[in-house]
Amino acid sequence: MRATVIAALLLSQVAAAAACGEGRTATTSPPPPVRIGAIYDLRGRQAPRDVAALDGARLAVERINAGGGLLGRRVELLERDAQTEPGSIRRAAGSLVAAGCSAIIGLSDAEQVLAAAPVAARAGVPFVTSGATSARLPGEVPDWLFLACCSDNAQAAAGAEYAVTRLDARTAAVVYDKGRGATRALSRYFQRSFRAQGGRVLATAAYEKESEVTQRLAEARKRAADRDARTGAGAAGADVLFVAADPADAATVVRRVRLAGYAQPIIGTDSFDSATLVAIAVRTGGDVCYTTHAAVGISSAGRAVRQFDTSFRTVYGRPPQNSFAGLGYDTIGLVAAAIRRADSATPADVRRALQRTRRYPGVTGTLGYDRGERLPRKTVTVVCVKRRPVVAAEFTPAHVADP
């Protein structure tokens, strides 16, 4: 009898201890993380942009977690390599959806975004591209796709407006890579915005290979001369030369144009945003301006950009590669701000909060979306290279062509 009582007491103590242990485990277990997916092309053609953007995104997540995370939860960045292949991109997006991500960010190429974003949209997960600048993307993936970067039509409009108002340009020649949809669109957008301000486009030259650039310019000049004997100087006589080139070719195109004797100011877009192009511009006489998202790594940049540069150097031991590092940082910040406003990490709530963004203060400028729009309202930065790159202007362009 005594032995039975003792055994019963021991069993009850063990059960109580186990129950207390379970209670302690339940109360001390950390809540599940808030997961944000990131797809970037880390080894392909877009790697110079995408590696920079992912570095910026990682820095933003580190800062958020150092400040206590989101909704009392740690933020986990789930990274996937796009591998420059649509099938891989779709599989990456599907794996991030399956992992329970609140949102997915990434990619700097419109075609790659169109492989990933529809997968996320079908699952009801918002996709925010940090660097794909096509103005048509939101219309191609309704409701769920947002841009955190300046769109192509805004960049081209800013280049045209800078040419007219700051360089006193009245005529322009346009050079573009006809093999890429983005460069064809940039050419159209610039011409529309330039003409809307009273400018005249004297010549257009489309090339397939960067080695053809000067030949195509010479042909465009001859066509202009044949068409209009009075002002037939064509590309050589234009006040400015607008160049829409792929990032991989932009520096070589600028060098070839300068060596061929075209001395007027050259205007480009964010494809010019690289140390290689800046170095070539300096060596070939300067007078190269380009529109971009922020003057990252440039000493004359504003306070927010300089602070970002310092934080980036502290973490990585080197300066940020280009403005896409700032875009990656801002895209995470934009999603995090939406989660805080929604007080929820549920994808549908995050999408609604993103759509209500009006003035998010980012490194790459204050960002907001008008009602129903998913192209951002934000300033465009113009950098001009003479002996060194300097910030020439920051403004919201007025004559933006429709997508």
pLDDT for 233? 53
pLDDT for 285? 93
The average confidence (pLDDT) of the chain is 90
The domain that contains 168 carries what CATH number?
A: 3.40.50.2300
Condensed to tens digits (0 to 9), the pLDDT of residues 269-300 reads 999 999 999 999 999 999 999 999 999 989 88
Task: Give yes or no: residues 241 and 316 share one domain.
Answer: no
pLDDT for 1? 37
Task: Give yes or no: residues 57 and 105 share one domain.
Answer: yes
pLDDT for 24? 43
Q: How many domains, the chain?
A: 2
Task: Give yes or no: residues 308 and 224 share one domain.
Answer: no
* Res. 5: pLDDT tops 90: no
- Higher per-residue pLDDT: 21 or 209: 209
Long-range contacts made by residues 230-236, C-beta under 8 angstroms, separation at least 24?
231/171, 231/202, 233/202, 234/173, 234/202, 234/203, 235/173, 235/175, 235/202, 235/203, 235/205, 235/262, 236/261, 236/262
Residue 378 belongs to a domain: no
pLDDT for 371? 87
- Look at 209-223, 320-334, 389-403 and tell me which has the smallest mean pLDDT: 209-223
How much is the average pLDDT of 48-66?
97
Condensed to tens digits (0 to 9), the pLDDT of residues 95-114 reads 999 999 999 999 999 999 99
* Res. 224: pLDDT tops 50: yes
- Higher per-residue pLDDT: 223 or 203: 203
* Res. 234: pLDDT tops 90: no
- Look at 81-85, 283-287, 299-303 and tell me which has the smallest mean pLDDT: 299-303
- Higher per-residue pLDDT: 217 or 48: 48
Condensed to tens digits (0 to 9), the pLDDT of residues 150-182 reads 999 999 999 999 999 999 999 999 999 999 999
Task: Give yes or no: residues 365 and 271 share one domain.
Answer: no
Give residue 274's domain range: 153-292+383-395
pLDDT for 328? 98
Task: Give yes or no: residues 180 and 212 share one domain.
Answer: yes
Nearest to 150 by CA among 33, 324, 391: 324
Task: Give yes or no: residues 130 and 191 share one domain.
Answer: no
Residue 66 belongs to a domain: yes
pLDDT for 8? 41
Task: Give yes or no: residues 119 and 48 share one domain.
Answer: yes
Residue 88 belongs to a domain: yes
- Higher per-residue pLDDT: 347 or 30: 347
Quick one: angle between helices 47-66 and 303-316, nearest 10?
A: 90
Other Cβ atoms closer than 10 A to 311: 18
Give yes or no for a contact between 337 and 357, defined as CB atoms under 8 angstroms apart.
yes
Residue 18 belongs to a domain: no
Task: Give yes or no: residues 312 and 253 share one domain.
Answer: no
Residue 22 belongs to a domain: no
Residue 279 belongs to a domain: yes
Other Cβ atoms closer than 10 A to 27: 7
Report d(CA 362, CA 148) in Å as an integer: 10
Task: Give yes or no: residues 355 and 317 share one domain.
Answer: yes
pLDDT band at 84 (very low <50, low <70, confident <90, very high): very high
- Look at 6-10, 170-174, 191-195 and tell me which has the smallest mean pLDDT: 6-10
Residue 17 belongs to a domain: no
Residue 400 belongs to a domain: no
Task: Give yes or no: residues 93 and 188 share one domain.
Answer: no
Task: Give yes or no: residues 204 and 109 share one domain.
Answer: no
pLDDT for 229? 52
Task: Give yes or no: residues 133 and 162 share one domain.
Answer: no
